[in-house]
């Protein structure tokens, strides 16, 4: 599904960018700006920002060890 129509970024582009950025050193704060940078794109209208932010949050939550804990 296309998330950013200005740059034709899909959910997959977002997830791959999150994996690349967060896996590099484990300390990178992944923001929508990081997702654009990982894809060599720049935000234009900004309409997609809230959706990209939500995808980042969901993807990071799905991949954390805390996800399966009972805390
Ligand atoms: S829809 Fe992403 S910058 Fe416009």
Domain ranges within the chain, ordered by starting residue = 2-65
Quote the ligand 1 centre to 65 CA distance (angstroms). Answer: 32
- pLDDT of amino acid 14: 97
Question: Could you give the angle at which helices 49-62 and 11-25 cross, rounded to 10 degrees?
Answer: 60
Q: What's the token pair of residue 37?
A: 């940078």
pTM: 0.84
Identify the three-state secondary structure at position 5.
Answer: coil
Question: Is the CB–ligand 1 distance for residue 5 below 6 Å?
Answer: yes
Q: Give me the chain's average pLDDT, please.
A: 89
- pLDDT of amino acid 64: 63
Point out the residues of the chain with pLDDT beneath 50.
Answer: 70-71
Cβ atoms 3, 47 nearer than 8 A? no
């Amino acid at each position: 599904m296309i998330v950013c129509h200005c740059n034709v970024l899909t959910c997959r582009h977002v997830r791959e960018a999150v994996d690349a950025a967060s896996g590099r050193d484990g300390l990178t704060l992944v923001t929508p700006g990081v997702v654009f940078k990982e894809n060599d794109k720049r935000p234009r209208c900004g309409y997609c920002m809230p959706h990209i932010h939500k995808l980042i949050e969901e993807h990071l939550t799905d991949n954390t060890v805390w996800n399966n804990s009972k805390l």
